[in-house]
Amino acid sequence: MVERRTVNPYVTGSSPVGGAKFLFLMLLFIFNIFYYLFFDEIRLMTKIITSIKIRRPDDCHVHFRDGNILKLIVPYTSKFFGRAIIMPNLIKPIISINQAISYRKRIIRAIPSEHLFTPLMTFYLTDMSETKIIEDGFNQKVFIACKLYLNKVTTNSKYGVSNITNLYPVFSTMERIGMPLLIHGEVTNNNIDIFDREAYFIDQIMEPIRNNFPNLKIVFEHITTKEAVQYILSNNENIVATITPQHLMFNRNHMLVNGIKPHLYCLPILKSNIHRTALREAITTDCKRFFLGTDTAPHTQNKKESACGCAGIFNAPTALAAYATVFNEMNAMENFEAFCSLNGAKFYGLPVNNGFIELKRKKIIFNNKISKDKNNLIPFLLHKNIKWEINVI
C-alpha cells in the first residue's frame, strides 16, 4: 500500500523546503502590495484629473413634470445647466402651442432668480398630430423639436403613436424645416423581450424613418445598447444620441442582484455589462454625435417603492458629478466639455452658453433626500460618494 502524505505549503512545520517556499510566497505577497500601493497609484495618479472648468452645459433631455413639484425640481437643473430640452409627456401631454407657452411660463416661475436658465419646449406626437401646429410652433420658436413615443412605451405615453407611417407627412415637414425629431427608441410588442426592445426598434422603426427621410435631424434618446452605439457611429451627422449617467454607471446586475433597487429602474431598462461598456467606450471617441441628456425623471418615493413601480430616475442633483466620474474613469476628460456643453448646442443650432462651471474632485457623500409636503424624492446616488464638487464661476 502506498502511503500518501499531504503537504500543506503554508503550514510547513520544520521542513526546510516548505520554509523556503513560505518565505518566497511572503516576499511575493509583500512585493504585490508594494506595487499596487505605490507604483500603480503613481501610474494612475498621472491620469486622474482633480479639477476641470467647462462651459455651462445643456441638459438635452429633462422631465420637469408640473404642479407643486416643479418648484422643487427645477432648481437642481437650472443651477448648473444653461438650457434644457423639456419633455412633453405630462399627464396631459403638450400638443398645442398655447399649452407649451403656458407650461414654459410655469417652469420659468420655478427658476430661482439668480439662475441663468432657459427651458426649450417640445411637442408630443400622437396619431392625430397636424403638421400646421408643429410648423407654426417651430417658426414661432415655441417648439424646438417633436418627441416620439410609441403607444404605451413608457411613463405617460398612452397618447403615443400606434402607427408610425401615419406620421410620415409630419416627418416630411420636419425634414423640410430642419426641426429635430427626438425618439424614445423602443418597440412595444409584448413578444419582444424588454432587454431587446431598443435593438429591434433600430431595424423595425428607425431604419425605415432614416431611409424615407435621410435629411431629417434625429436624436436617438438615452441609448442603452451596443447596437445603438454602432448605429450612431455608422451613420452621418443627421442622427445623434443622448446618453444618461445611469446607463454609463450601472448595468442590470446593479439593479437586480442582492435585492431589487427600484431607484435604478428606468426605461429603457439598464442592460448587461457588454452594453454599458459600449456606451462607456463611445464617450471616449471624439465623435461629436454623443451628448448629455440626463433623462432626469422624478417620481415620488411611494410610486417608486411600490408593487408596480414607476420607471424613471431623478438624477438632476447628481448627474454632472456622475458623468465626470465616468469620464475620469475612462481617461476621457478631454471629451467632457464637448459632451456636456458643445455637441448638443451644435446639433440644435444654438450658441454655446455664456459662463462656466468648475468641477473639483472631493469626497462628498450626497445625503439630501428631497421633500416637500407629501412629495418625497429619492435622488440618484443618494448616500454615495459623488466625488465632485461643482460651482458656477
Helix/strand/coil for 296: strand
Residue nearest to ligand NCD (CB): 312
377 touches which of ligand NCD, Zn ion, none (CB within 5 to 8 A by kind)?
Answer: none
Sign of CA dihedral 85, 263, 188, 237: positive
Q: How many CB atoms lie within 10 A of CB 171?
A: 22
Write out the residues near Zn ion by the rule CB under 5 A. 295
Could you tell me the smallest distance in angstroms from the CB atom of residue 58 to ligand NCD? 17
Whats the size of the chain, residue-wise? Answer: 393
267 touches which of ligand NCD, Zn ion, none (CB within 5 to 8 A by kind)?
Answer: ligand NCD
Q: Closer to ligand NCD at the Cβ: 254 or 361? A: 254
182 touches which of ligand NCD, Zn ion, none (CB within 5 to 8 A by kind)?
Answer: none
Write out the residues near ligand NCD by the rule CB under 6 A. 63, 89, 154-156, 184, 266-267, 295, 297, 311-312
312 touches which of ligand NCD, Zn ion, none (CB within 5 to 8 A by kind)?
Answer: ligand NCD
Q: Which residues contact 216 (CB under 8 A, 6 or more apart)?
A: 171, 174, 175, 181, 209, 210, 238
What's the CA gap between 86 and 59, in Å, rounded?
A: 9
What's the CA gap between 253 and 273, in Å, rounded?
A: 8
Could you tell me the smallest distance in angstroms from the CB atom of residue 184 to ligand NCD? 6
Q: Closer to ligand NCD at the Cβ: 81 or 388? A: 81
Could you tell me the smallest distance in angstroms from the CB atom of residue 181 to ligand NCD? 15
Could you tell me the smallest distance in angstroms from the CB atom of residue 293 to Zn ion? 8
Q: Which residues contact 17 (CB under 8 A, 6 or more apart)?
A: none
Structure-block grid coordinates of residue 253: 446586475
Structure-block grid coordinates of residue 37: 500601493
Residue nearest to Zn ion (CB): 295
Q: Closer to Zn ion at the Cβ: 156 or 335? A: 156
Q: Are 139 and 71 spatial neighbours (Cβ–Cβ below 8 Å)?
A: no
Q: Closer to Zn ion at the Cβ: 157 or 251? A: 157
Burial state string for 77-101 with b = 16 or more CB within 10 A and e = fewer than 16? bbbbbbbbbbbbbbeebbbebebbe
Q: Closer to ligand NCD at the Cβ: 221 or 337? A: 221
154 touches which of Zn ion, ligand NCD, none (CB within 5 to 8 A by kind)?
Answer: ligand NCD
Structure-block grid coordinates of residue 289: 454625435
Could you tell me the smallest distance in angstroms from the CB atom of residue 263 to ligand NCD? 11
What's the CA gap between 326 and 215, in Å, rounded?
A: 33
Active site residues: 295
Burial state string for 45-59 with b = 16 or more CB within 10 A and e = fewer than 16? eeeeeeebebbbbbb
